[in-house]
Amino acid sequence: MRIVLDATGVQADSGGMTTFLRGLLDGWSQVPETDAIFVLGMPELPPLATGDSGVVQQVSQVKQSGLIARIRAQQFDLPRLTERVRPDALLTADPSIPLRPIGCPIVAVVHDLRHLARPEEFSHARRKYRAFVWGYGIRHADRLIVDSDATAADVQKYYPTVVDRIRQVRLGADHVDTWPRGAPDHENHAITFGHWSNKRPDFSIRVWGAAYRTHPDLGITLEVVGVPDAERPGLLQIARAEGVEQYVRLRSFVPDQDYQALFASSSLVLMTSTLEGFGLPVVEAMQLGIPVIASSGVGMETAGGDAALYADANSVDSFAKQVVRVLRDDDERARVVARGREHARTFNWSDAAASVRTVLEEAIQVHQR
Q: Poorest-confidence range of 29-43, 124-138, 144-158, 343-357?
A: 29-43
184: confidence class by pLDDT, cuts 50, 70, 90: very low
Domain 2-172+348-363, CATH homologous superfamily name and number: Glycogen Phosphorylase B; (3.40.50.2000)
Q: How many residues does the chain have?
A: 369
On the CB side of 301, CA atoms within 13 Å amount to 11
Of 231, 210, 218, the C-alpha closest to 268 is 218
The answer, yes or no, to whether residue 367 has pLDDT greater than 90, is: no
- Structural domain boundaries in the chain: 2-172+348-363, 175-344
| Domain range 175-344, CATH class | alpha beta
Residue 45: its pLDDT value, please?
A: 74
The answer, yes or no, to whether residue 54 has pLDDT greater than 80, is: no
- pLDDT tens digit sequence for 63-104: 777 888 888 999 999 999 999 999 999 999 999 999 988 999
Of 9, 362, 356, the C-alpha closest to 170 is 356
Question: Starting from the edge strand earliest in sequence, which strands make up the sheet with 89-92, in order?
Answer: 56-61, 36-41, 2-7, 89-92, 106-110, 143-146, 166-168
CB 272 within 8 A of CB 313: yes
Domains 2-172+348-363 and 175-344 in one fold = yes
pLDDT mean across residues, the chain: 91
With pLDDT > 70 as the criterion, what percentage of the chain qualifies?
A: 94
